[in-house]
A and B are shown apart, each in its own frame.
Chain A
């Protein structure tokens, strides 16, 4: 079975400060990890993914995520937050051994960036 946890319902950060949105996962095989962002009344947009290789993955809009196998985490980060980064962020995992190739999503974390 595969699962994802996003322990924070909301993260508040001031504009210009670094931000971190946390994600931990559980899989039986090797994980494929994804981050998506959802702006109000919109669909989910792909930000970045980890497949293999470098633990630090760079994605769209200046976001990056760090894969940590020992801590089973894949936290999303950005060095300097913008007000326009305010949105709902979802972490998702697909187990390499998942026969159905289905993604499992976390419950989402709302990021609020204040001026």
Chain B
């Protein structure tokens, strides 16, 4: 049981380039999330999904797109990267067994946009 995995672990982009971050979970969780972590700002929610084929905007969705074509995967896309998107990105998942259920996090992807 690998839990939540993320690829790649590190990436450097030039301004204007595009890329996709992959999140996978093997816990059969319905809910999946993408966060970004910036110094002193905690984690901020970018987008989330409550099930296969569904996505919704979080707190800071601009400049990002997501897709949830398969239940176990949640993709985060940057169409035209900007230096402001330099951050550490975390994926998380949780069951839908009540609002008290715990979120489990992946190890993160460190992205630098030059």
Q: Do A and B bind each other?
A: yes
Given A34-B102, A43-B90, A49-B100, residue A101 in contact with residue B31 (CB < 8 A): yes
With both chains docked as a complex, state the minimum distance between the C-beta of A91 and any C-beta of chain B, in angstroms.
9
B77 at the interface (CB under 8 A from A): no
Q: Find chain B residues with CB under 8 A from A105 CB.
A: 42-44
Place the interface of chain A in its size category.
20 to 34
B64 at the interface (CB under 8 A from A): no
Q: Find chain A residues with CB under 8 A from B102 CB.
A: 34, 46, 49
Output the nearest chain A residue to B41 by Cβ-Cβ distance: A107
Place the interface of chain B in its size category.
20 to 34
Q: Mark A21-33, 1 if CB is under 8 A from B, else 0.
A: 0000000000010
Q: Find chain B residues with CB under 8 A from A96 CB.
A: 99
A107 near B40 (CB under 8 angstroms)?
yes
B42 near A106 (CB under 8 angstroms)?
yes
Instruction: List A1-42 residues whose CB lies under 8 Å from chain B.
Output: 4, 9, 32, 34, 36, 41-42
Output the nearest chain B residue to A42 by Cβ-Cβ distance: B107
With both chains docked as a complex, state the minimum distance between the C-beta of B45 and any C-beta of chain A, in angstroms.
6
B48 at the interface (CB under 8 A from A): yes
Q: Find chain B residues with CB under 8 A from A42 CB.
A: 107-108
Please measure, in the bound complex, the distance between the C-alpha atom of A41 and the C-alpha atom of B105, giving whole angstroms: 13
A83 at the interface (CB under 8 A from B): no
B interface residues (Cβ-Cβ under 8 A, vs A) = 4, 31, 33, 40-45, 48, 56, 58, 90, 92, 99-100, 102-108
A interface residues (Cβ-Cβ under 8 A, vs B) = 4, 9, 32, 34, 36, 41-46, 49, 51, 90, 94, 96, 98, 100-103, 105-108
Enumerate 8 A-B pairs (CB-CB under 8 Å) in ascending A order.
A32-B99, A34-B102, A36-B105, A43-B4, A49-B102, A94-B99, A94-B100, A100-B56
